[in-house]
Structure 1
């Protein structure tokens, strides 16, 4: 009658898919990740379409997506994967051009890393994204900030009727790249209060994090 469970449960591995049209990069990344116990590379694919299809039909935790791929690029794949699966996309690319960074984040990418990043940092990034964090490499954040600064004096393109005056103020300072601590000093309100305002802004817009707020403030686009 009673069935004995003799096997001890294995620790859960983070299931990763790698999408890149360059087989050398794809294989290299697979080998790197396979050296770490906490990852299981469940598939390697050529383009965004294959990545999306795989994530839709299988249980995948993290999708590492190249930006430039045939058939469907990483930005488009990010959008579909976020909309229709539970997989978290992490953009991995040699290109650090602003347009793709912004588009990928708008579409729900949880992080953005350059391919020449040290393997140990890629490992940490995947684990952080798996645990619900957003990962932006410094060089990439600088790109975003510089592209946002060029537009920062522009009239905001958001629907002002949705937000209080204070929320508009906080969004404009986020768009200028200020941290909560810096906003707190400028507006003479506590960091806790600012965090509450940010939560309210995220609730009203359906956005997920402050980088998306900055982009939304300047472009008026949610996705």
Structure 2
């Protein structure tokens, strides 16, 4: 069964170009293109859509707010497609439920891989975007002086959180700590349960800021 995708961007060049690219693959069905976040939410509330590709800056409703509503009110998984100029929105988008955060100049093949990965339940964030999250949050951490609640986590869980914040994959964490990937996954599940967070990128933000 094909993955149904909706594209929301007020630049028709982007929407049409992305539609052509995705349609060239046999496993995507681009069901709609819209020009603002409000229209994206309205469409997904009326139709079953697997993935919503959302621009950040759109009229009427931006992609960050649309991601929040899609997460709360539909089964559609939002992925943000953005530019470097939208750095200020990255953290808000993740906190609002975005399952992916990609730059528009990303190779089409990688965007397609990201869509499939998010559809399978993963969270996708490019290394360059994660690095920008870290750099933008570090001053806040220093200013606020709010460390994570050490008593809430075991030493191993804190080690894993630190490596997640550095952008390590489960496989890389397993190699670093000499444990199995399954054990890493179990620790991450425990961390998510203790914090009521939804995915590993939120864990990275929590580790860097001390804020849920």
State how far apart, in whole Å, the 1-side matches of 2:97 and 2:132 are: 18
Q: Which runs of 5+ in 1 are unaligned?
A: 1-11
Q: TM-score, normalised by structure 2?
A: 0.83
TM-fit CA distance, 1:203: 0.9
State how far apart, in whole Å, the 2-side matches of 1:36 and 1:182 are: 33
User: Which range moves more in the overlay, 73-82 or 20-29?
Assistant: 20-29
1:208 aligns with 2:181: no
TM-fit CA distance, 1:61: 0.3
Secondary structure at the aligned position of 2:198 is classed as coil
Instruction: Determine which structure has more spread, i.e. the larger CA radius of gyration.
Output: 1
Within 5 Å, give how 1:184-223 maps onto structure 2: 190=179, 194-222=184-212
Deviations 1:153-185 (A, max 9, x none): 563355x38713537734762475263656985
Within 5 Å, give how 1:137-176 maps onto structure 2: 137-151=126-140, 153=142, 155-156=145-146, 158=148, 160=149, 163-164=152-153, 166=155, 169-170=158-159, 173-174=162-163, 176=165
TM-fit CA distance, 1:102: 1.1
Within 5 Å, give how 1:33-52 maps onto structure 2: 33-52=22-41
State how far apart, in whole Å, the 2-side matches of 1:114 and 1:94 are: 5
Structure ranking higher in helix proportion: 2
Contact in 2 for aligned 1:19/1:51 (Cα 8 Å): yes
1:124 aligns with 2:113: yes
Match among 76, 87, 91 for residue 87 of structure 1: 76
Within 5 Å, give how 1:86-125 maps onto structure 2: 86-95=75-84, 97-125=86-114
Match among 12, 19, 37 for residue 23 of structure 1: 12
Q: Which runs of 5+ in 2 are unaligned?
A: none
State how far apart, in whole Å, the 1-side matches of 2:59 and 2:4 are: 24
Match among 28, 50, 58 for residue 47 of structure 2: 58
State how far apart, in whole Å, the 2-side matches of 1:49 and 1:16 are: 16
User: Which range moves more in the overlay, 90-99 or 190-199?
Assistant: 190-199
TM-fit CA distance, 1:76: 0.5
Deviations 1:49-86 (A, max 9, x none): 11011111110000000000111100010011011111
Q: What RMSD in Å do the two structures reach over aligned CA positions? A: 2.7
State how far apart, in whole Å, the 1-side matches of 2:107 and 2:175 are: 35
